Amino acid sequence: MRTLQFGDVTVDRLVETEGLGYDPAFFFPESTLEGFEQELDWLAPHFWDVEAKTYRRAIQSYVVRTPHHVVLVDSCVGHMKERPSTPGWHRLDSTWLDQLMALGVRPEQVDYVLCTHLHADHVGWNTRLVDGRWTPTFPNAKYVIHRDELRYWERQGDANEGPGSEDGCFADSVLPVIEAGQAVLVGNDFAIDDTFTLLPTPGHSPGHVCIDLRAGGGHAVLAGDALHHPIQVARPEWNSRFCVEPDRARATRRRFVEAHADTGALILAAHFATPTVGRIVGNGARCKFQV
Ligand SMILES: [Zn+2]
């Protein structure tokens, strides 16, 4: 994905990791191989590896720059975080921060970090280790978190086992931001300005939000994990194994697909593999994702 331009607003992405996903039947428990293969004409090669018979995915953040603000949407797995349940995330040493700097953005220039939700692969770079303490990476940023999301993880703690588990991410990547006074708890009505508003999309997690971006006559949705993989445009009923509220996640996803099909809105999800950006278009009974 090259830089997207919406009038005087630009959107870039920071890719932490990219490659083949898990066994589809593990990650999308309701999925079938036939269901994926029925959509090959638009899924392959970007989002499905025909030989490996599995899906492709990325872990990425978005950097939005307006004349007034530098805004980060989600912060991936992070640097040197203890994530033993997920070998690919454990003590990860990625180029994520270098990519941000290469765009000409220093950590102190980031004004907002918008958290779509608080899973471990979305909050990691919220903090980094300084003198043995997990410290906010962006010293001048407000970290925006939906209050339903925070309440849930405060009560819930680490809920999952195995790959993709939280592994203490709330303690090392969320609490330090709250303790530093940099967290801003918001409801559905939060907006930074006319450019950024929230689109509540609960279900994957109880306070999951997408970010609606409108500028220069264009519309993009920074979709977080409302959609994990483009297949869910055709199969909104297939949850990921990490959808906390399964029925609500399905209903929200179906609504999301219906609301954005054939509208021209660009969808920027957290895990869609390169080339990442595209639109939802009608395709008979099942929509498709057009890059
Ligand atoms: Zn995720």
Cα 210 to averaged position of ligand 1 atoms, centre (Å)? 13
CA 45 remoteness from chain centre: 22
Cα 192 to averaged position of ligand 1 atoms, centre (Å)? 23
Cα 228 to averaged position of ligand 1 atoms, centre (Å)? 7
From the number of C-beta atoms within 10 Å of its C-beta (0-12, 13-18, 19+), residue 92 rates as buried
Tell me the C-alpha distance between 6 and 64, whole Å.
10
Task: Using alpha carbons, select from 213, 268, 286 the residue that is nearest to residue 278.
Answer: 268
Cα 182 to averaged position of ligand 1 atoms, centre (Å)? 23
Cα 226 to averaged position of ligand 1 atoms, centre (Å)? 9
Cα 40 to averaged position of ligand 1 atoms, centre (Å)? 23
pLDDT of residue 94: 85
Q: What is the pLDDT of residues 157-188, one digit of tens each?
A: 776 777 888 999 999 999 999 999 999 999 99
pLDDT of residue 185: 98
Across the chain, where does the E strand assignment appear?
A: 4-6, 9-20, 48-49, 54-65, 70-73, 112-114, 127-130, 133-136, 142-146, 183-186, 196-200, 209-215, 218-224, 266-269, 279-281, 288-290
Cα 203 to averaged position of ligand 1 atoms, centre (Å)? 13
pLDDT of residue 163: 80
pLDDT of residue 165: 84
User: How many other β-carbons are positioned within 10 Å of the β-carbon of residue 279?
Assistant: 18
Cα 133 to averaged position of ligand 1 atoms, centre (Å)? 25
pLDDT of residue 157: 72
Cα 130 to averaged position of ligand 1 atoms, centre (Å)? 26
Cα 166 to averaged position of ligand 1 atoms, centre (Å)? 11
Phi, psi (degrees; rounded to nearest 5) at 113 = -115, 115
Q: Which residues contact 100 (CB under 8 A, 6 or more apart)?
A: 14, 63, 72, 107
Three-class SS state of 113: strand
CATH of domain 4-290: 3.60.15.10
Cα 108 to averaged position of ligand 1 atoms, centre (Å)? 25
Residues of the chain with pLDDT under 70: 159
Cα 68 to averaged position of ligand 1 atoms, centre (Å)? 28
pLDDT of residue 156: 83
Q: Which residue has the tokens 């690919």?
A: 88
